[in-house]
Amino acid sequence: MDSLVKMLEENNIGKWLTNVSLRKYTTYHVGGIAKYIVFPKNSDKLIILLKYLKNQKIKYKILGNGSNTLFSDKPYDGVIIKLDNFNNLTIYGTKMTVGSGYSLIKLAKEAEKRGLAGLEFASGIPGSIGGAIYMNAGAYKSDMGYIVTNVKVLTPNFKIIQMTNTELHFHYRSSFFQKNPGYICLEATLKLQKGKKEFIEKVNRERKQRRVATQPLEYPSAGSVFRNPEGMYAGELIEKLGLKGLYKGGAQVSEKHANFIINRQQATSQDIKDLMDFVQEAVYEKYKIKLKIEQELVNWE
């Protein structure tokens, strides 16, 4: 892929790295070696890059903060695209327009500072805006679908369009983007409400204390592994089977929260995947409920 390097340099696409461990770019701290990671400067550079990759039939993956992703241990023989430079933020009244590479936790903090309510659910979700919209990230009975009004999207035909909330088909941990690969979130507009700064601070503080007490934040993880079945909690089903603390290699079902798998002792991706599969099968065998994995599995084919 020497021609790729030449293209990147000639077109001044942005920073790029080669032969990088994905452990540095995922919250599980696992994954194989990525042949290239590219950080496009803006949407024009991103389009040039994508056109080249498609013409050359080079596989690629848009990656946010890697907070809801499990890469395999295999080398990723393609290009990881990071939209970290898509980090603009404009606030006018109760509306926020924000780039897809912006941190969700950081945005929740900005809302808190300004007394804007509606993002409290996101104060502990370590994803990017683009990743949060892709997964329709949520907590505390709220999610991105409640606050996103429209999204600036790059289509597979390299056109930039605006899509409205209803067009984005937000459902529980699901969105238009998951079912339509090739569409890329560039920027989003969120609609919040005026609130009392002191109250928002109090809610965020109390929820942080609860997370510290109930979630294994001291170990690498990717948050909740399985979606909650309707009317049930995945963690409760797993805990009832006595699977808390179960190891597979260096991966462990958290002793704090049964719906978290943690990288306890230099786990591999395969360790984590094996544990996911074991838990999924055990729950099905006992309850005849097929838990759906919430996290995105990449490069396992």
Identify residue 239 by its one-letter amino acid code. Answer: E
Per residue in 180-218, pLDDT (tens digit) is 989 999 999 999 999 999 999 999 999 999 999 999 999
Closest CA to 193 of 120, 257, 89: 120
Q: Where are the domains of the chain?
A: 2-82, 89-199, 217-298
Show the tokens assigned to 267.
Answer: 């786990």
Domain 89-199 has CATH 3.40.50.2020: no
Quick one: pLDDT band at residue 1, thresholds 50, 70, 90? low
Identify the pLDDT of residue 108.
97
Per the listing, tokens 């569409």 go with 183
Report CA-CA distances (Å) from 259 to 156, 224, 294.
35, 5, 10
Identify residue 18 by its one-letter amino acid code. Answer: T
> Which SS3 state, helix, strand or coil, does residue 136 take?
coil
Pick 217-298's CATH classification: 3.30.1950.10, 1.25.40.20, 3.40.47.10, 3.90.78.10.
Answer: 3.90.78.10
- Per CATH, 89-199 and 217-298 having the same topology is answered no
Identify the pLDDT of residue 2.
80
Per the listing, tokens 């786990």 go with 267
Enter the pTM of the model.
0.94
Domain 2-82 has CATH 3.30.43.10: yes
> Which SS3 state, helix, strand or coil, does residue 207 take?
helix
- Residue 19 belongs to what H/E stretch? strand 14-21
The residues that are catalytic are 173, 224, 294
Show the tokens assigned to 128.
Answer: 């990017």
Beta strands 184-191 and 95-99: pairing type?
Answer: antiparallel
